[in-house]
Structure formats: structure tokens, C-alpha cells
Structure 1
Amino acid sequence: MSLQMLPEGQETPDVQVSWEDQTRINTFSKLNTRLTNLEEEYQKTKDEMEYLEDVSTEIELIDEDELVQYKVGDTFYWIKQSEVVERLEKDTENASASLSELDEKVGTIKDEMNDLKASLYAKFGNAINLER
């Protein structure tokens, strides 16, 4: 008795997996994991940036000389509103730069994965599944 995961009537092609093929498969797997991690980091940074923009909007409604609690690390400090606005702008710029960098990394990884997919599907056809 043989176990198959292919649709009934479809046979598994008999293709030899070379060392080079296995290396490509492993590389694809590593890139896939890295892509997932980068996408999670991208979403986290995007959420943080949206939060900073919302806070900036709210802070602008407060008088410039009034003290506002501002979180640095795990501690809150009382800082003038005008200084908080400056810090929020700087934090928003940093988050934006981080998003750009992450977007570039994601694009590079996707390009590498597409190249590997093309070569692996060309050799293995339906015998390999490289979809997420």
C-alpha cells in the first residue's frame, strides 16, 4: 500500500534531488522564514507610526507651555508640549525610515524567492509546493 498526497490518478514524477537542489530548497525555506519575520516587523512599525501620528494630532491641541507625560523606554517623564511635538516628529521620521528600509528588504527577498521558485518549479513541477 502506498500513501499519496496527489489527486487520484496523478502519479509522482520520479525526479532525483541533487545537492544543489536541496540547497536551493533550504535557501527558499530560510528566505520564507525571514520574509515572514520582516512582514511582522513591518506591520508592527506601521502600527507604531500610525499611533505616533495620532498622538501628534492630539498633542497639538494642548498649550505649548503645558507639561505632558512622555514615555522614554519604560519610564514616563514630564516634558513641555513643544518638546514632545519635536520628539514625536523625530520618532515618526525614524519609523518612516525604518518602514522604507523594511520595504526594500522585503522586495529583495521576494525577488530572490521568485528566482528560486522558477528554477525549482522548472525541475520538479507539481512535485514541490513552494506557495505560502
Structure 2
Amino acid sequence: MRMLNQEEEVDAEVTWEDQQKINSFSKLNAKYSDLEETYNAKKQEKEFLDDLTSELELVEVGEPVKYKIGESFINLPVEQAIERIEKDQEILTQELEQLQHNMDDMNGQMRQLKAHLYGKFGKAINLEKD
């Protein structure tokens, strides 16, 4: 935090509409952070599945492997395990695309709010992440 110098001070009244826009920006920013965290976790999970698929390709055909379902492990032939992993990868890809779409929408809304608020308040308001 720093103090504003006299050139940066703005003599603008904060109207009810301005306060609503500030509140909307804050809510969007919090949701965006949550989505970003979820996106990164799912992206990491997809990378793990990609690595696992690569490792399973080295296993002999018909060889049983331990596959985790919930809290249990079952023995599956390597082909079935790879099929299940590929389905999981497809689901994760769709979820990642949806999350990215939602994040892009929120980013657009936040850009509009930033433009309005910075236009009115200039450097007297800080809407950037630290």
C-alpha cells in the first residue's frame, strides 16, 4: 500500500452504481481465482494421466495392472485400464475447455468494469492483483 500523491488524487464521488460495479468486480475476481485454482488442478491431473498412459504402453498386452476406483484397487488387463484412462482424459479435456470458457467470460466482464472504474477514478482505485 502507498499513499496517493496530489496529482493522483481524484475528486470523484462514489455513486451507488459505482459501488455496485466495484462489488461486481470483486465477486468476479474471487470466482475467477477459484476457477483458476480448479483449472490448474485439473490440468495437473490430466498431465498425470498422460504420463500414466505412456507408462502403461510399456506393459505387456494382457498383463494385469492395479487400477484405482474410488478407494479400492482392482486388477484390470492393461488394455481396459488404458481405455478407462482415455475416457477420463476426454472428460478432463471437456471440463478444462468449459473452465477456460468461463474464465474468458469473466475476464471480459472484469475488463469492462475495470475500464469504467479506471476511467472514473484513475489511479485512486486499484483493481490489479498483487
Q: TM-score, normalised by structure 2?
A: 0.92
| SS of corresponding position for 2:9 | coil
| SS of corresponding position for 1:78 | strand
Structure 1 position 64, deviation (Å): 2.3
Question: Which of 87, 91, 95 lines up with 1:90 in the alignment?
Answer: 87
Aligned to 1:6: 4
Aligned to 1:107: 104
Give, as a single letter, the amino acid of the residue that structure 1 aligns with 2:45: E
| SS of corresponding position for 1:17 | coil
Partner Cα distance (2:50, 2:39) in 1 = 16
**Higher relative contact order by CA 8 Å / sep ≥ 6: 1 or 2?**
2
Partner Cα distance (1:66, 1:77) in 2 = 13
| SS of corresponding position for 2:60 | coil
**Once structures 1 and 2 are overlaid, which stretch shifts more, 92-101 or 58-67?**
58-67
Give, as a single letter, the amino acid of the residue that structure 2 aligns with 1:66: E
- Identity of matched residues, %: 44
Partner Cα distance (1:121, 1:44) in 2 = 33
Aligned to 1:128: 125
4+ long deviations beyond 4 Å: none
Aligned to 2:35: 38
Aligned to 2:51: 54
Structure 1 position 14, deviation (Å): 2.1
Question: Which of 19, 23, 26 lines up with 1:26 in the alignment?
Answer: 23
Aligned to 2:73: 76
Give, as a single letter, the amino acid of the residue that structure 2 aligns with 1:22: Q
